[in-house]
Amino acid sequence: MSDDHDHHDGKDDHELRVSKIRDGTVIDHVRGGQALNVLAILGIDGNEGEEVSIGMNVPSDRFARKDIVKVEGRELSQDEVDVLSLIAPDATINIVREYEVIEKHRVERPPAVDGVLTCPNPACISTGDEPVTSRFEVLEEGVRCSYCGTIVRDEIASLIET
């Protein structure tokens, strides 16, 4: 009977914190505290049986703290990446196949997003009886409804259309 588990050299701890995935997407450099919003964007609620690991508030070179989200068996669509860029503008998307990162890119914020957010203004034409497809212009620190001009900064994740 070995007692290997008693020996810590510190290095493994850091690596083991978020398990490796075989195939899927790793979303790294998410601003601390936003990981759950990332899951909301991806429509992951734990019911689909998708294997997800999250590291929250882990040390980061780029920020004081960051979140990491790993989704097994799934590569993100461009729409998902666009919405992701709104709440995690510094995120890096790593596509993993057979445990190897085969593609790595930073999210790029699109100039506008269509049909992904609901305007919080009840009087907006996009939320009326015959709603038009929502459209938000992407600003430096938030989004602005193209119809009524409402600006949203902090609650973007709560406006995601499901």
Both tokens of 57, joined, read 């508030």
Residues annotated within a binding site for Zn(2+): 119, 124, 145, 148
Residues annotated within a binding site: 119, 124, 145, 148
Distance of CA 75 to the CA centre of its chain: 12
| Residue closest to 53 by CA, chosen among 74, 40, 41, 70 | 70
Q: Which amino acid is at 61?
A: D
Distances (CA, A) of 157 to 9, 48, 87, 92, 146: 39, 20, 7, 18, 18
Both tokens of 142, joined, read 């938030």
| Residue closest to 96 by CA, chosen among 148, 28, 149, 17 | 28
CB 152 within 8 A of CB 143: yes
| Residue closest to 74 by CA, chosen among 116, 33, 21 | 21
